[in-house]
């Protein structure tokens, strides 16, 4: 089977099946062999791995995954692409299964139980940019036995995931992702590596899931409520941002006292706090919320 990393081969397949790009699915097909190889290298795919690919499209990255991995399951929401995958671009591989499903409603846990067989499980995807965050957070929050998630995403989002406290890119999504995984920016990808060209720059980022959480916190749900409060009004002081947040019922005086008990200034903003400091603040506020 001819590699779809070659633009001419991609065009030939699209013409053969009279495929038009589906904006509603955020379809941009990768046509650069160097980037495809970089994704495989960054994800550290080996024959010992079970790989779940989200959004295979016409199978461009899937071909590379099948060559490198022990087994691949490709989950594609667009049913019009299934004949291309099963009858054409992936037909020569015996280690791939294509499933027509929406990853946001698909039972990934059951899939891993059925096909994982104790192997390292790695997720690889060229994600639709409009739905990147919901997919990543569902994978991370579902407590799946994943080793890593390597994804092509909008560069602006990648910058947020790896941001440090006090920077403009640092936000609630930064802290949420870093609570579950260690982000590593593997590559920046220009627009001309795709067909059609997207309007934004892209990046490949690998999230290696923590075996143990990087911070200890008594109530992680409360911590993330505090984080949401802090960044819902990020230009306000942390005291005022939490005080204005309806999901945390605590007096302004108690909020201020909790912040000061963590060795922080009452005038500090949430964007200046690290994950460890948010965990400590959560424990301090949680103690004051007790009856």
Q: What are phi and psi of 125, to 5 degrees?
A: -160, 150
Sign of the Cα torsion 257, 262, 265, 270 reads negative
Token pair in block for residue 188: 């920046």
Least confident of 14-23, 42-51, 220-229, 242-251: 14-23
Question: How far is residue 63's CA from residue 29's CA, in Å, rounded to a whole number?
Answer: 13
pLDDT value of position 3: 76
Is the Cβ–Cβ distance between 141 and 149 less than 8 Å?
no
Q: Residue 190 pLDDT more than 60?
A: yes
Half-sphere CA count of 194, side-chain side, radius 13 A? 24
Which residue has tokens 């955020």? 26
pTM score, whole prediction: 0.92
Q: Count Cβ atoms below 10 Å from residue 184 Cβ, excluding itself.
A: 15
Question: How far is residue 14's CA from residue 28's CA, in Å, rounded to a whole number?
Answer: 12
CATH for the stretch 7-209: 3.40.50.150
pLDDT value of position 213: 96
31 pLDDT band (50/70/90 cuts)?
A: confident
Instruction: Give me the residues paired with residue 205 across strands.
Output: 151, 185
Token pair in block for residue 80: 């019009």
180 pLDDT band (50/70/90 cuts)?
A: very high
Across the chain, the runs of DSSP E, i.e. the strands, are 29-30, 50-54, 71-76, 96-100, 121-126, 148-154, 181-189, 194-195, 202-209
Half-sphere CA count of 45, side-chain side, radius 13 A? 29
Least confident of 23-32, 121-130, 176-185, 282-291: 23-32
Question: How far is residue 62's CA from residue 79's CA, in Å, rounded to a whole number?
Answer: 16
21 pLDDT band (50/70/90 cuts)?
A: low
Is the Cβ–Cβ distance between 172 and 227 less than 8 Å?
yes
Q: Residue 4 pLDDT more than 80?
A: no
pLDDT tens digits, 216-247? 999 999 999 999 999 999 999 999 999 999 99
pLDDT tens digits, 147-179? 999 999 999 999 999 999 999 999 999 999 999
Q: Residue 249 pLDDT more than 60?
A: yes
User: In which residue ranges of the chain is CATH 1.10.8.100 found?
Assistant: 220-289
Is the Cβ–Cβ distance between 99 and 75 less than 8 Å?
yes
Q: What are phi and psi of 40, to 5 degrees?
A: -60, -45
pLDDT > 70: percent of the chain:
96
Class of domain 220-289: mainly alpha
Average pLDDT for residues 245-272, to the nearest whole number?
Answer: 96
Average pLDDT for residues 94-101, to the nearest whole number?
Answer: 98
Select the more confidently predicted residue: 104 or 10.
104
User: In which residue ranges of the chain is CATH 3.40.50.150 found?
Assistant: 7-209
194 pLDDT band (50/70/90 cuts)?
A: confident
- The closest alpha carbon to 228, from 207, 247, 253, belongs to 247
Angle among Cα 107, 109, 114 to the nearest 5 degrees reads 100
């Amino acid at each position: 089977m001819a590699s779809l990393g070659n633009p001419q081969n991609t065009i030939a397949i699209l013409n053969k099946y009279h495929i038009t790009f589906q904006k509603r699915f955020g379809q941009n097909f990768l046509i650069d062999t160097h980037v495809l190889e970089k994704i495989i290298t960054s994800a550290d795919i080996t024959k010992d791995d079970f790989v779940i690919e989200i959004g295979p499209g016409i199978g461009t990255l899937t071909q590379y995954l099948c060559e490198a991995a022990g087994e691949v399951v490709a989950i594609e929401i667009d049913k019009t692409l299934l004949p291309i995958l099963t009858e054409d671009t992936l037909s020569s591989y015996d280690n791939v299964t294509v499933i027509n499903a929406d990853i946001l409603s698909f039972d990934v846990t059951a899939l891993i139980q059925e096909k994982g067989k104790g192997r390292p499980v790695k997720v690889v995807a060229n994600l639709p940019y409009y739905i990147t965050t919901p997919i990543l957070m569902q994978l991370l929050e579902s407590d799946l036995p994943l080793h890593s998630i390597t994804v092509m995403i909008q560069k602006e989002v990648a910058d947020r995931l790896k941001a440090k406290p006090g920077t403009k890119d640092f936000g609630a999504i930064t802290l949420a992702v870093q609570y579950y995984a260690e982000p590593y920016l593997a590559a920046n990808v220009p627009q001309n590596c795709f067909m059609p060209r997207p309007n934004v720059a892209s990046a490949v980022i690998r999230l290696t899931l923590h075996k143990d959480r990087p911070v200890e916190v008594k109530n992680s749900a409360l911590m993330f409520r505090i984080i949401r409060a802090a960044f819902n009004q990020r230009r306000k002081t942390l005291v005022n941002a939490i005080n204005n947040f309806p999901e945390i019922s605590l007096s302004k005086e108690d909020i201020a006292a909790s912040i000061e008990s963590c060795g922080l200034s009452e005038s500090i903003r949430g964007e200046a706090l690290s994950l460890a400091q948010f965990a400590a603040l959560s424990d301090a506020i949680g103690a004051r919320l007790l009856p």
